[in-house]
Chains A and B, each alone.
Chain A
Amino acid sequence: NAGVTQTPKFQVLKTGQSMTLQCAQDMNHEYMSWYRQDPGMGLRLIHYSVGAGITDQGEVPNGYNVSRSTTEDFPLRLLSAAPSQTSVYFCASSDPGQGINEQFFGPGTRLTVL
């Protein structure tokens, strides 16, 4: 199993550009989430999905869109990048049926918006 994979690892954007961060998992997990990690802030939840076709907002959703057409994939879209979106982005997945609902994180995407 590859676990949770994310692409790209690094990305530099100019203000106003759009892009999609890719996330895929091969563990057949129902739950998937996107977090951003900023110095001194820990990880903050952007959007999450409890299954294919179902998404919801987290703590900091503004400026981001998501969709969940399959169990495996959960892309995060930045429609018009802003310098405030410079961050490290982590995708995570979990299986609520396993009780403790451990979240498995991907390796992250480091995004810089100029």
Chain B
Amino acid sequence: QQQVKQSPQSLIVQKGGISIINCAYENTAFDYFPWYQQFPGKGPALLIAIRPDVSEKKEGRFTISFNKSAKQFSLHIMDSQPGDSATYFCAARESTDNNDMRFGAGTRLTVKP
């Protein structure tokens, strides 16, 4: 069973709008939560990451919101652009197990001009 559940599967947003992707996890030992961005034909690339000691992290137009009690975290893309069209994966990992990263199923984002 997937330890990290991601929704929605696909998302269509108008240029300038806000894209929101949600993830939920089960393992309370997870303490590192990255988001990856993947363009067609390419490997995933780290976009932004958060640790559970903060509730929000912002980098440019990308923000992670983290709710430890609900075991949920989300990615917000402000002022979405057509160049943001990609597949986004959330992930989670225990720091003591550096290689066991658990990924969500992915969200295909399309930003219409």
Chain A residues in the interface with B (C-beta under 8 A):
4, 31, 33, 40-45, 48, 50, 56, 58-59, 90, 92, 94, 96, 100-103, 105-108
- B24-38 CB mask vs A (1 if < 8 Å, else 0) is 000000001010000
The answer to whether residues A107 and B41 also contact, given A42-B6, A50-B99, A101-B98 and a CB cut-off of 8 A, is yes
Q: Which of B4, B100, B104 has the most CB of A within 10 A?
A: B100
State the Cβ distance, A33 to closest chain B Cβ, in Å: 6
State the Cβ distance, B1 to closest chain A Cβ, in Å: 11
Interface residues of B in 67-113 (CB under 8 A from A): 89, 98-106
Please pick, from B43, B45, B99, B105, the residue contacting A41 in the complex, using a CB distance under 8 A.
B105
Please pick, from B42, B45, B49, B102, the residue contacting A100 in the complex, using a CB distance under 8 A.
B49
- Please classify how large the interface on chain B is, using the bins under 10, 10 to 19, 20 to 34, 35 or more: 20 to 34
Q: Which of B9, B42, B49, B98 has the most CB of A within 10 A?
A: B98
CB-based contact B100/A44 at 8 Å: no
29 contacts between A and B (CB under 8 A): A40-B105, A41-B2, A41-B105, A42-B2, A42-B4, A42-B103, A42-B104, A42-B105, A42-B106, A43-B89, A43-B101, A48-B99, A50-B99, A56-B99, A59-B100, A90-B43, A90-B44, A92-B43, A100-B32, A100-B49, A101-B98, A103-B46, A103-B101, A105-B43, A107-B41, A107-B42, A107-B43, A108-B41, A108-B42
The answer to whether residues A42 and B43 also contact, given A50-B98, A50-B99 and a CB cut-off of 8 A, is no
Q: Which of A40, A90, A96, A103 has the most CB of B within 10 A?
A: A103
Q: Which 5 pairs of residues, A with B, have the shortest CB-CB distance?
A: A105-B43, A42-B103, A48-B99, A43-B103, A42-B105
